Amino acid sequence: MLQADAMKKAWIRSFGDPDVIELIETGTPVPKPGEVLVRATSIGMNRSDLDCRRGIYPVQPAAPCGIGHEAAGVVVEGAGDSIFKAGDRVGTLPGSSFVKLHDYGRTAEYFTTNADWLVKTPDSVSDAEAGAIWVNYLTAYGALIDVGRLQPGEVIVIAAAPGATGLAAIQFAKLAGAQVIATTRSAHKCERLLAAGADFTVNTSTEDYEARVLELTAGRGADFIFDPIGGPFVARHLDAVAQKGRVLLYGVLTYPEFCSFDPDVLINKHITLRGYNVDDPFVIDRAALAKAVEYITSGLNEDRLRLIIDSRFLLDEVVEAHRYAESDRQFGKILINP
């Protein structure tokens, strides 16, 4: 048996700043019937981890608790009737509805999960980087393809694009034949966004966002806006979007700000403002999920999609990883390698 008797795990006694996280020693979890035990090789950090640590995540476990829901690794012990066998390389599927509260806590050396919530890691992706795939790529795919139905020739604004989901969205948008306007608050990230596939960038710290989008679209506005910011940006998106355009809001970087907008703009432009998260297309519709997983797997294996890793931390550096993730310096995925 590869299974260790004890392992390290990130632990939170009360919510707050990064230094509320401590590493504890605890027993390696024992899989229940139908569950798989996985040795983590790559833990994906997501915005939800920061929100969870602060105690503001909509699906919030009670403290004390573990943290983290995205991880990939190697199967130690498969479930009896599972398709997964010891040695298989696997990653967790996202979705707060199927990541039940007790499944938080994957910032750890080992985790257990129901076999239904695991998927095989694409051959082209290393053990160390395998935690960078499913949350971001499924979120972006579901938004742009399943819910948003992005069409060839459409113009999409990808807001706060240097995040891992924004970068995945750029890749899907280009594969769909759309034109991409990527936004960021950092001048030095503009060039990297162009290198990552964006056709245009808008630095919202120094440029007039709405005016620039209208200029880039000959006054028409963007067909689609994919936004994790919320707050005052919602009203700005309504100004920047085209007649009959759609705005997909998938995050609230401006938490706890509310969004305020002029209803006449929404009405007269026939705008669709849609709330979205990865649960949306993929929790009930397993066929849609399977199709997305296959698209992403083959895209990574055949080099149409390309993981962009910002940085990797050790599990011992988990506090530093959280602090870094809040610094707004990242471009791509932050991983923890146990």
Question: Where on the chain is the footprint of a copy of itself (CB under 8 A)?
Answer: 58, 230-231, 234-235, 244, 249-252, 255, 258-277, 279-280
Q: What is the CA radius of gyration of the chain?
A: 20
CB of 285 to a copy of itself, least distance (A): 12
SS3 165: helix
The values of phi and psi at residue 234, to 5°, are: -60, -50
Q: Which is nearer to a copy of itself, 10 or 143 (CB)?
A: 143
CB of 303 to a copy of itself, least distance (A): 33
Q: Which is nearer to a copy of itself, 238 or 318 (CB)?
A: 238
Q: Judge whether 337 and 41 are in contact, CB under 8 Å.
A: yes
Q: Which is nearer to a copy of itself, 80 or 256 (CB)?
A: 256
CB of 312 to a copy of itself, least distance (A): 29
CB of 82 to a copy of itself, least distance (A): 30
Residue 243 DSSP code: E
CB of 222 to a copy of itself, least distance (A): 16
> Any idea how long the chain is?
338
Q: Which is nearer to a copy of itself, 130 or 273 (CB)?
A: 273
CA distance 56 to 90: 29
CB of 224 to a copy of itself, least distance (A): 14
The values of phi and psi at residue 95, to 5°, are: 125, 110
CA distance 91 to 138: 12
CB of 198 to a copy of itself, least distance (A): 24
CA distance 243 to 214: 12
Identify which of 337, 327, 331 has the alpha carbon closest to the alpha carbon of residue 310.
Answer: 331
Q: Which is nearer to a copy of itself, 97 or 298 (CB)?
A: 97
| Conformation bin of residue 149: beta by default, left when phi > 0, alpha when psi is -120 to 50 | left
Q: In Å, how far are 44, 99, 156, 332 from 132, measured between CA atoms?
A: 6, 17, 23, 9
Q: Which is nearer to a copy of itself, 260 or 327 (CB)?
A: 260
Q: Which is nearer to a copy of itself, 21 or 138 (CB)?
A: 138
- Write the single-letter amino acid at 224: F
In 10 A of CB 130, how many CB atoms?
26
CB of 38 to a copy of itself, least distance (A): 28
Q: Judge whether 28 and 62 are in contact, CB under 8 Å.
A: no
Q: Which is nearer to a copy of itself, 96 or 297 (CB)?
A: 96
Residue 146, token pair as written in the block: 């399943």
CA distance 338 to 39: 9
CB of 64 to a copy of itself, least distance (A): 24
Q: Judge whether 15 and 55 are in contact, CB under 8 Å.
A: yes
Q: Judge whether 65 and 98 are in contact, CB under 8 Å.
A: no
Q: Which is nearer to a copy of itself, 152 or 263 (CB)?
A: 263
